[in-house]
Structure 1
């Protein structure tokens, strides 16, 4: 029973870590299909990992197994978990990295993975991606039922992503959640938070940039001009056509974003 297995980690691609995980999976199930979502999650950054998997998982076929390893607590008492959420499965540390998946799905079952006979032995205290998460995903892809891996738990960890807040007067305040590879500033503002920017006058201040235009595509922007756009993930982004908004605005992850209307 072959299923897709995806990998999302903060391991990068310069070390052996990802290759070792894939080797473990293929040793257990040579018929598996293993695909990388990203290995460029910011190191130790649970919110970045949560954003990455939440933006990608729903585009995969039902019953896909998503291995998500952003795990600064590896080797501690934090639990490994197997989660069924909607029509997808997730194998990850219980540290909140699946929080945005939990927000999007109504049907969630989480299990504490305790059946160590499925692990690669001996289990390293520093590499559960290889010795715990990868083999569990591989055995699942061969048809082992979730109940075989451990008991259900309902106290799995989750955190709330930063939300937009009302400021003084006609203001909405948010933050930059992420800077993507192109230098675009991905904010936590959704269109519903800032409805006044559609057809009305507005200013968005982030870093040292002031944005007054909402465009429908990147190419509409003048060279070097910072503008707002609704990104593919549904968030308001600040971008520069063929340039870096992060550099232009001298802003980064965590920078405050202030929207003023009128």
Structure 2
């Protein structure tokens, strides 16, 4: 049976996550449920998209991903189910799928239309779970919705490029557990626009003219430990997801602090790359 994953901003204090899992098990006693995250910042679509994009590919083809962030149904926020990269996603049509579908086009998208049979103020439980279980049993998307040609796009998830191709304008889309600030500028875009030119990364009032390959590249290990660069040095690198990240070496949020706090780089703040 397909794995069903959960990504929400519900946290773990309340009953919501437990109720969702209980309902899935009631319908599919042999279900396999995996929590990707329930600690998404409330209503933060960009954060949701970043986490999900970097997690879903680790799951086997045919996995079903329930996304419960900003999921209240209204005239501007319909619900959709789609097949993308051999994975199923059930989510609000609020742009959350934009980052996942930036390079891979969905094979099929439907607007879920079972709401008229289900009255609810908790759609993740009462609608998304039903859709997920339907798919897990081998059901098709057409049964639960009408096919639509496209999805809502979230503009801020994509960087922009100046007309002369000399500047990439990006912004912070995620702050990780270490306080590192992750931008929407990918290594692919950096290489395609930069073409090997010299560059300057500008983040707040700080600038970087070098991008390291890994965090410890800033350390000179030939120097005795007591004379080495200390923890807390700022750096820029492309992280394991190939997004440009501004980080603090060996950051500790309880002592040294992270890039978000020390450099003032928080969600939606600008990060710019200028090529010369």
Could you state the TM-score of these two structures normalised by the residue count of structure 2? Answer: 0.82
Of 209, 213, 216, which aligns to 1:216?
Answer: 213
Distance 1:162 1:83 in 2: 21
**Cα distance change, pair 240–200 in 1 and its aligned pair in 2 (3 A):** farther
**Cα distance change, pair 260–110 in 1 and its aligned pair in 2 (3 A):** closer
CA contact (8 A) 1:115 1:148 kept: no
Q: Which deviates more from structure 2 when the two are superposed, residues 154-163 or residues 167-176?
A: 167-176
SS of residue matched to 1:98: coil
SS of residue matched to 1:99: coil
- Residue 203 (1) aligns with residue 217 (2): no
| Equivalent runs, 1:89-238 vs 2, <5 Å | 89-115=88-114, 123-125=119-121, 127-160=122-155, 161-166=157-162, 171-195=167-191, 202-221=199-218, 222=229, 223-238=231-246
**Cα distance change, pair 213–224 in 1 and its aligned pair in 2 (3 A):** farther
Shift of 1:169: 9.6
- 1:124-178 superposed Cα distances (whole Å, 9 cap, x missing partner): 22x1111111122123212223222122122532233231433899544322221
CA contact (8 A) 2:24 2:31 kept: yes
C-alpha RMSD of matched pairs (Å): 2.6
CA contact (8 A) 1:102 1:108 kept: no
CA contact (8 A) 2:82 2:106 kept: no
CA contact (8 A) 1:197 1:214 kept: no
Shift of 1:197: 8.1
Q: Where do 5+ consecutive residues of structure 1 fail to align? A: none
Distance 2:249 2:81 in 1: 41
| Equivalent runs, 1:39-50 vs 2, <5 Å | 39-50=38-49
2:35 equivalent in structure 1: 36
**Cα distance change, pair 201–225 in 1 and its aligned pair in 2 (3 A):** farther
Could you state the TM-score of these two structures normalised by the residue count of structure 1? Answer: 0.86
Shift of 1:6: 0.6
Distance 2:35 2:275 in 1: 41
What number of residue pairs does the alignment pair up? 256
Q: Which deviates more from structure 2 when the two are superposed, residues 158-167 or residues 145-154?
A: 158-167
Shift of 1:17: 0.9
Distance 1:66 1:169 in 2: 37
